[in-house]
Amino acid sequence: MALYKSPSPLSEQARTAIAATLNERLSDGLDLHSQIKVAHWNIKGPQFAALHPLFETFAVSLANHNDSIAERAVTLGGRAYGTSRHVGKNSRLPEYPQETSRDLEHVKLLAERIEVYLAGLRESRTAVEGLKDTDTVDLFTGIITEFEKHAWFLRASLEG
C-alpha cells in the first residue's frame, strides 16, 4: 500500500504497519457495531427496558471509536477500508445468530464478541507499542478501557 504524505514523524514502514493493524481493528469494530445493532433491534424479555438503550449506547460509542480508528489510519498516510463486503471478509468476530431474541442470550453473545474485539485491540496495541507510536497506543487504550467496562457489565448481568 502506497502511503500519502503524513504529518507523522514515524517511518513509512512503521506507518504502513500501523495503518494495516488499524484497518484490522476497523473491520472488527464495524462488524461488532452491526452485531450490537441487531441485538438492539431484536431484544425481547424482562430486561428489555434496561438493555435496549444500553446496546444503543454501546453502538453509538463504538461508531465514534470506529471513526477515530479510520481517521488515524488516514492521518498516518494510509487508507481506511470499511465496506460491508470488506468487513465480512476481514472481521475476526463470529457471525451473529440473528434469530436470537431473548435478552440474556443477546447479553451473552455480545459479551463474547466484545471479548474477541478486545483481544484484537490488545494485539494491535502491543504491535504499535513496538513501533513507538504512542498516539495510536493511547487511542487503543481508551477503547480497551471503555469496552472492558462494557464486557464487565454484560458478564455481571449474567451472574446470579
The DSSP secondary structure of 76-123, one letter per residue, reads TT------HHHHHHH--SPPP-TT--BHHHHHHHHHHHHHHHHHHHHH
For residue range 117-149, list pLDDT tens digits in order.
Answer: 999 999 999 999 999 999 999 999 999 999 999
74 phi, psi to nearest 5 deg: -70, -40
Query: Residue 160: pLDDT band by 50, 70, 90 thresholds?
Result: low
Provide Rg for the chain, Cα atoms: 17
**pLDDT given for residue 1 in this prediction:** 62
Residue spans of the domains in the chain: they are 12-158
Q: Which CATH number fits domain 12-158: 1.10.260.40, 3.30.420.10, 1.20.1260.10, 3.40.718.10?
A: 1.20.1260.10
pTM: 0.96
pLDDT tens digits along 33-48:
999 999 999 999 999 9
